[in-house]
Amino acid sequence: MQSTIEWTKTNRGATAFIYQNQKYRKRCTNKDGSEIWICCNKSCGVSMVLFNGVIKRYPQQHSHNELQHTPDVRAVLEKIYTETTTDLLKPVTEIYRQHLVQYKRKKGTAEDILVFNYIRSTAYRRCSCVLPPIPKSLEDIIIPDSLKFLENGDQFVIFDNPAPHRLITLCSPQALVSLGFIPSFRDTEARRDLANLFCLPLIPIEYVFSIYENIASQLVLKIADIEKLLQYFSNTYLYGTIFPPPRWNHFSFIGFTNRTTNAIEGFHRAINTRSTPHPNIWKHILLKRELDEQTMISISQEIKQKRPTKTKRKCYRDYDNRLIEAKELLINRVIDLLEYQRRVRAFSYRYIQYHEENEDDSDRDNDV
């Protein structure tokens, strides 16, 4: 009845062995030096007694199926555990599913493999043990030395002030060098060209390409290392097929629809707030039906009262009125394109915090 004992590890890393396709872990050591090993299955009470690695008492019949801890399975488990502790940014579920699919393809089977049904929690536990505990406050943050430097040895944590107020700065030296063109934004002409670039969605679509080429030619001369940004914008939003100008330009919709997707985001937030984390199909249908009824009531109320049910802030109403006025003046040829561009440019300055730093700018006072 003697069989080979194959030594291995448990899911928590303790010493274990496999005997006749059953896995055992150490329970205790007797006074005479013998060791009692019990089955790793919690619902099984079968045990063995070893003395100096030799079986002194053989196990009885187990009440469960044999574990499928073949060498191939153990190799897959080791790969999963290793990858979860080394590639921390990759989700554990993705690692688990990838290796499981590869194993099933190799074996040509689609059946469930028992051992894979309970190792996912072990993979999560091993992954969580690599990183420090999640801090509860800023004072509790202790960055390990392995995270203070990049893989090439450059410093990543460039500032860490514990008192009186905790301030941590994470940045690589190369990133600081790459951001060296930021002082160029202090130039008034450069900021004005950036504002013109940001307000392209408000420009008539037939002038978008010519205006962009003019803006790009000016920015290249005023801001160093901006060619990559302009090239990305051109390939993505002008000449690309994913986001062509008709998808993001809304000059024709000024005065008719909202300029932003805030209403849609608010609707989605309402769904997430009122819905459970994992709703079944029936609760989801009930929620959608209730929201649909509320939406139809709001629409009927808006049509009858000829005003929106949700009032915008005065500043946003003023922005819309100024846009509508500028659009009508341009369409009626009261103002030219340059004057229209100057009027709508004031909205884009908010994105680069221009007005807060330049109270005497002519655009701010005269764009109204």
What is the per-residue DSSP string for 300-321? HHHHHHTS-SSPPPHHHHHHHH
The per-residue pLDDT for 334 is 92
Residue 222 lies in a domain: yes
The per-residue pLDDT for 263 is 73
* 152 in the same domain as 116: no
E-assigned strands of the chain? 6-9, 15-19, 22-29, 35-39, 47-51, 54-57, 157-161, 167-170
* 81 in the same domain as 192: no
* 266 in the same domain as 249: no
| 92 CB burial (10 A radius; 0-12, 13-18, 19+) | buried
Q: What is the mean pLDDT of residues 148-158?
A: 77
Q: Are 91 and 83 in contact (CB under 8 A)?
A: no
* DSSP bridge pairs for 55: 50
Quick check: 367 pLDDT over 50?
A: no
Q: What is the mean pLDDT of residues 264-286?
A: 75
Q: How many CB atoms lie within 10 A of CB 237?
A: 19
Q: What is the mean pLDDT of residues 310-315?
A: 75
Q: How far apart (Å, rounded) are the C-alpha atoms in residues 230 and 236?
A: 10
* 331 in the same domain as 200: yes
Lowest-confidence segment of 14-23, 170-179, 217-226, 338-347 by average pLDDT = 170-179
The per-residue pLDDT for 311 is 72
Residue 63 lies in a domain: no
Instruction: Give the CA angle between residues 310, 316, 320 to the nearest 5°.
Output: 100
The per-residue pLDDT for 356 is 42
Domain count, the chain: 5
Domain that holds residue 25: 6-57
The per-residue pLDDT for 365 is 44
Tokens of 223: 């801001």
* 46 in the same domain as 23: yes
Per-residue pLDDT tens over the stretch 49-105: 888 878 888 777 777 766 656 677 778 878 888 888 877 777 888 888 888 888 888
Per-residue pLDDT tens over the stretch 13-39: 778 887 777 778 888 888 888 888 888
* 336 in the same domain as 233: yes
* 125 in the same domain as 82: yes
Quick check: 223 pLDDT over 60?
A: yes
* 148 in the same domain as 108: no
Mean pLDDT across the chain: 77
